[in-house]
Amino acid sequence: MQTKNKFVLYAVVAVALLLMPGICASLGLGNGPMRIIDLALLYVMLALGLNIVVGYAGLLDLGYVAFYALGAYMFGLLASPQLSTNFETFAAAFPNGLHMPLWLLIPAGAALAALAGALLGAPTLKLRGDYLAIVTLGFGEIIRVFMNNLDTVTNGPRGIGEIDGIHFWGYDLSKPLELMGFTVPPITQYYYLFLALVLGSILICYRLETSRIGRAWMAIREDEIAAKAMGINTRNMKLLAFGMGATFGGVAGSMFAAFQGFVSPESFSLQESIMIVAMVVLGGIGHIPGVVLGALLLAALPEVLRYVAGPLQEMSDGRLDAAILRQLLIALAMISVMLLRPRGLWPAPEHGKAAPKAQN
């Protein structure tokens, strides 16, 4: 009976996800909600990647947004006229910019992020807890400041524009698609692409969780000394966790650059990194369904609260700023969740307890 109920639940969720664009269109909500959902799916990918580092390996990473930025900027530089505009050598060979194909752009962003993750992990292997958090926090800020000041390459605070959208085999997601008499807007096409990437990421995370590598990560998380005594190479496992988690961030950053068509250092601030950590912790650290739920809720919550902060500002005759009110409401919501659900909204089942019996 329990298996049947799960199958019905999964079927309902699958149908709802497939019909989501049609539901938003039928309600006359416009492209706003779909854009929020698209960005929320990218945050799900980021949260799943960070969950590998924090949830599986137990390594507190407060600079995860740096890998997101590296993937976005790699895509932006290789899929825009930016390098040809600033460097005569590139302009002579590629007058209109590089505009590299997609099958090279995404692996390049993922590889750069993975390399950065390994480079970050190497000097921090002996650090734990607060010390590791401070080092990773500094790494995230270094990357943001580096992108903000490297004017000749990244265009500094002005950012990189004119970035190509996703296109492959002559099919461009940034243009409307005519299908069976219906016009599918680009924002809906990106939705299905991001949804496919999220489902693939979830599958990879589930396979990692049940693999020997995942078991080794969890052993290190529970007791690193005992794990080393059992023959686990903790050094290599930690580096692999940093690299694997960073890969998710690099791919998500590439998709963000293609979706927005513009990247700037403001999109990769410390607040973004804290929000990604909050998604993992509030959802249920180490539990994939909880992480997905936390990412969806926290990604959509700031946008939804815009509709609440506006009336509250009017009630105060404009004395309170709407942005400050929105941040206050987000903080109160997060505090309430932690007080009511200290292990997260959807925590992993506790070990050592008997499974509940199925109800007939």
Q: Is the pLDDT of residue 313 over 50?
A: yes
- Other beta carbons within 10 Å of 80: 24
Higher local confidence (pLDDT), 323 or 258: 258
User: Which SS3 state, helix, strand or coil, does residue 184 take?
Assistant: strand
Residue 299 CB partners (closer than 8 Å, separation 6+): 36, 39, 40, 43, 44, 279
Q: How confident is the model at residue 320 (pLDDT cuts 50, 70, 90)?
A: confident
Q: In this structure, are residues 91 and 84 in contact, taking their beta carbons and an 8 Å threshold?
A: yes
The predicted pLDDT at position 352 comes to 46
The predicted pLDDT at position 359 comes to 52
The model's pTM is 0.92
The pair of three-digit structure tokens given for residue 247, joined into one six-digit string: 């890969």
- Phi/psi for 29 (5° steps) reads -85, -10
For 314, counting Cβ atoms within 10 Å of its Cβ (0-12 exposed, 13-18 middle, 19+ buried), the class is exposed
Q: What average pLDDT does this structure show over 290-317?
A: 83
Amino acid at the residue 122? A
- Phi/psi for 179 (5° steps) reads -135, 110
Q: Which residue has the tokens 């987000």?
A: 330
Higher local confidence (pLDDT), 232 or 360: 232
User: Which SS3 state, helix, strand or coil, does residue 167 take?
Assistant: strand
